[in-house]
Amino acid sequence: MRQSHLFTKTRKEAPSDETSKNAQLLIRAGYVYKEMAGVYSYLPLGLRVLENIKQIIREEIHREGGQEMVMTALQEKELWEQTDRWDDSVVDIWFKTELKNGTELGLGITHEEPLTRIMTSYISSYRDLPQYAYQFQNKFRNETRAKSGIMRGREFLMKDLYDFSKNEAEHNEFYERIRGAYKRIFERVGIGDSTYVTFASGGIFSEFSEEFQTVSDAGEDLIYVDEEKGVALNKEVYTDAVIEKLGLDKSALVEKKSIEVGNIFHLGTKFSEPLGLQYTDEAGNKVPVYMGSYGLGPTRLMGTLVEVLADEKGIVWPESVAPFRVHLVGLNLDDAEIRDYAEGIYSALTTRGVTVLYDDRDVRPGEKFADSDLIGIPYRVVVSRKTKSEGIFEVVERATGEVHSLSEEELYQKYIPEAEE
Amino acid sequence: MRQSHLFTKTRKEAPSDETSKNAQLLIRAGYVYKEMAGVYSYLPLGLRVLENIKQIIREEIHREGGQEMVMTALQEKELWEQTDRWDDSVVDIWFKTELKNGTELGLGITHEEPLTRIMTSYISSYRDLPQYAYQFQNKFRNETRAKSGIMRGREFLMKDLYDFSKNEAEHNEFYERIRGAYKRIFERVGIGDSTYVTFASGGIFSEFSEEFQTVSDAGEDLIYVDEEKGVALNKEVYTDAVIEKLGLDKSALVEKKSIEVGNIFHLGTKFSEPLGLQYTDEAGNKVPVYMGSYGLGPTRLMGTLVEVLADEKGIVWPESVAPFRVHLVGLNLDDAEIRDYAEGIYSALTTRGVTVLYDDRDVRPGEKFADSDLIGIPYRVVVSRKTKSEGIFEVVERATGEVHSLSEEELYQKYIPEAEE
């Protein structure tokens, strides 16, 4: 894409009420726009990153048999009353609204209830189980404070996956697979090393749930990490009894601030019992379906990547989620010959399937380089009079600052080998 | 995909309060689930159709330079007060809610206001224009009645595109291009022949807007069609004066019920003036930006396709949007040899890039054929003992009922040539 056509521009300042690093950088670089506290629009660059993140999640969830669907924001009071999660004294983050006739509605905070109800139309026999359904969908949560940028929104995107299993053993088997899928997802987006499976408090059906926590000073959580074993405990379960039970050594646990980037949860029959989701087993008995839920917020993950990977010059995207692979910076473009040459390189790269943001704007080189650092595309390639006369391209890796001098052929063959959409 | 794994099943009955044909069929076939009147979840089959429709729209809008982004549902009162579209006495379809601190919010009914505000951050000079931005995003409209299934939802998906132009001429040029893009979209989804560019009432900045109306008895609109000229008038502008002005002949106009599947609209400076979206022109003058808006609802379009193309046996999807290209119906699968053979055909088709729903369920042939008709996949291919012994495949076209007998090689080479997804 030509940068001169992109409707967003970089900005010197983020809104003065924006205190989080992730939103400050994303706003300044033109990825998101702040509508109000905790509510952000995703501009073309931001949507590209978000879609790349979603695609990685989708691939890993599909691999485990998840079926994608999409539920609604508008929610019926009667449904949530059946599980006692409607009243504001029980769940205090509802946004509520109403129909013309006065019927009260809520905006979905999560989707266990509606999906369990849907499944009562489709599950009746053991032959119908197990089933795995997930969605990417906006959640609405009426947070009193929303100061963590896109990491804690009042309206935000969530991937929520649910399993419907015959029994605990079948559920546990899927739970293990999703733990693995989540690990792969965090590896692929570039924060595998700093993300820990973290024990947290469970529910009626299990002593613990597990969270995926990414170490960051921007985090709202406090965890205790055993780096050698690669596990951690959330503060809420950091007791001598739990440490002993998990076979950990208190002296090896280091306190760190962290961001919860995902969680996996045993639900048991907490929702299937009140909502009447039963099946007939092999012996002819009616049995409640055994469930689990698996959350992962693509918008929060995007914010986390900014918090964890950015440097003093701006955002640093991993290749797997970057809005473009190459930032082609054209200099001396007022010279028609150089412009033609630069256009040719742009065209050659895109023809080879490389995603390119081509800075063809009429601004000074220093501004182009500063914008390029701020936007954070993995490979910057300069095309200029010098490049043309010497036939050598300077490629700078955004993450490391490493500079490589390549011929045109090397640029295509060696450096940017991976064809992408 | 294996039909035995799909969590949805066909149903004999739609909910008794569902009066629209589109929702009845889509619910019975397992495409959507009715949460409440005008609010539908999209199940795996339904989401596949919706994504195919979105992709066609996306391709045609990208071709005209549209940049995809996504805005929010939550809307600030102050913003909409500036254009006098907040008060319920002016706009009577708002869902309203509030923050913990009592601040009133609305759920976006459309997005002229927020996008115009966003653009004030990015447009300041004539060099920044024109710009074309669009999104696929859920709209919320508090309709008193919602009886048309997924064609008129209280929560529904909309593609809304906006242009930001220097002046009327620049805007008109884009408007013409989008009229063409819309025609291509309706052609590609299979309703080009029954969809008319229809004159409707305009606004301050133009005498007319244009709607795309698809002829259907399920429509809520009344239009007057000149079939020869391929144009129509909405009832609201069906006067002798207008007919004369447009050079039409009243005697050639035929009254029809129709569904509004899209609209294109001259906004002029209706939003840019109150919201202060100006640019500095070549002469140094501050000038309000000239705008247009272009709506097209993928969910309404999906419902329209069902209304217009379904027959007495069920849904009939055009190839371009069908959830799968081939419905592979396996019979005699209790015979291990036949099952292996059927699995081989399934595998061979999917390996060739054909999207296949493989009916591997343990149910009677009659039920499989009835379900297949209801679900409406374009090509049904039967694999059975007979197929195996004779080496001949029976391919039935869902739309026409035509039957073709093909060898295995012909099946791959001739009949299902187009590699997809």
Residue A320 sits at the chain B interface (C-beta within 8 Å): no
Residue A153 has pLDDT above 50, yes or no: yes
Put simply, the answer to whether B41 touches A70 (Cβ < 8 Å) is yes
Shared domain check, B262 and B356: no
Whether A368 is covered by a domain: the verdict is yes
Shared domain check, A253 and A385: no
Residue type (1 letter), A24: Q
Shared domain check, A239 and A157: yes
The pLDDT, as a whole number, for residue A15 is 87
C-alpha pair distances (Å), B298 with each of A419, B3, B359: 31, 26, 28
Residue B114 has pLDDT above 50, yes or no: yes
What is the rounded distance in angstroms from the CA atom of residue A177 to the CA atom of residue A163?
A: 11
**Owner of token pair 């508008």:** A74
Shared domain check, A242 and A132: yes
- Please say whether the beta carbons of A325 and A354 come within 8 A: yes
Give the residue from B277, B309, B341 where a domain finishes: B309
Residue B79 has pLDDT above 90, yes or no: yes
What is the distance in angstroms between the CA of the first residue and the CA of the last residue of chain B?
A: 13
Whether A286 is covered by a domain: the verdict is yes
The pLDDT, as a whole number, for residue B421 is 40
> How much is the mean pLDDT over chain A?
95
Domain housing B209 = 21-73+108-309
| pLDDT band, residue B156 (cuts 50/70/90) | very high
Please tell me the total count of domains within chain B: 2
What is the rounded distance in angstroms from the CA atom of residue B144 to the CA atom of residue B158?
A: 20
What is the rounded distance in angstroms from the CA atom of residue B61 to the CA atom of residue B68?
A: 9
A139: which residues sit within 8 A by CB, 6+ positions away? A108, A109, A110, A155, A156, A157, A158
- What average pLDDT does this structure show over A30-58? 98
Distance from CA of A266 to the nearest CA of B (A): 21
Residue B64 tokens read as 């005209």
pLDDT (tens digit per residue) in B115-138: 999 999 999 999 999 999 999 999
Residue A305 has pLDDT above 60, yes or no: yes
Residues 36-75 of B with CB under 8 A from A: 36, 39-44, 46-47, 65, 67-75
- Please say whether the beta carbons of B94 and B143 come within 8 A: no
Strand partners, B98: B104
Whether A121 is covered by a domain: the verdict is yes
What is the rounded distance in angstroms from the CA atom of residue A419 to the CA atom of residue A355?
A: 9
Put simply, the answer to whether B99 touches A40 (Cβ < 8 Å) is no
Shared domain check, B331 and B291: no
Across the interface, of B7, B114, B131, the residue whose CB is closest to A133 is B7
Residues listed for chain A: 421
Distance from CA of B79 to the nearest CA of A (A): 10
- Please say whether the beta carbons of A128 and A279 come within 8 A: yes
The dihedral through the CA atoms of A213, A215, A219, A225 has a sign that is positive
Shared domain check, B352 and B286: no
pLDDT (tens digit per residue) in B390-417: 999 999 999 999 999 999 988 888 666 5
Across the interface, of A9, A96, A114, the residue whose CB is closest to B41 is A114
B250: which residues sit within 8 A by CB, 6+ positions away? B240, B243
Of chain B, the percentage scoring pLDDT greater than 90 comes to: 92
pLDDT (tens digit per residue) in B335-382: 999 999 999 999 999 998 899 999 999 999 999 999 999 999 999 999
- Please say whether the beta carbons of B326 and B354 come within 8 A: yes
Residues 261-300 of A with CB under 8 A from B: none
The pLDDT, as a whole number, for residue B413 is 80
Distance from CA of A297 to the nearest CA of B (A): 16
Residue A13 sits at the chain B interface (C-beta within 8 Å): no
Of chain B, the percentage scoring pLDDT greater than 70 comes to: 98
pLDDT (tens digit per residue) in B308-321: 999 999 999 999 99
Residue B419 has pLDDT above 70, yes or no: no
User: Is the ipTM reported for this complex over the cut 0.90?
Assistant: yes
- Taking CA B31 as the corner, what is the angle to CA B25 and CA B37, rounded to the nearest 5 degrees? 70
pLDDT (tens digit per residue) in A321-350: 999 999 999 999 999 999 999 999 999 999
Shared domain check, B205 and B58: yes
Put simply, the answer to whether A47 touches B33 (Cβ < 8 Å) is no
Pairing mode, strands B379-383 and B326-330: parallel
The pLDDT, as a whole number, for residue A320 is 96
Residues 197-256 of A with CB under 8 A from B: none
Which of B276-311 are b and which e, b meaning 16 or more Cβ less than 10 Å from the residue's Cβ? ebbbeeeeeeebbbbbbbbbbbbbbbbbbbbbbbbe
> How much is the mean pLDDT over chain B?
95
| Residue B415 DSSP symbol | I
Residue A248 has pLDDT above 60, yes or no: yes
Give the residue from B259, B277, B309 where a domain finishes: B309
The pLDDT, as a whole number, for residue B420 is 44
Residue A350 belongs to domain with CATH number: 3.40.50.800
Of chain A, the percentage scoring pLDDT greater than 90 comes to: 92
**Owner of token pair 């910057």:** A380
List chain B residues with CB under 8 Å of A70.
41-42, 47
Residue A418 has pLDDT above 80, yes or no: no
Residue B301 has pLDDT above 80, yes or no: yes
List chain B residues with CB under 8 Å of A65.
5
Q: In whole angstroms, what separates CA A13 from the centre of its chain?
A: 25
| pLDDT band, residue A421 (cuts 50/70/90) | very low
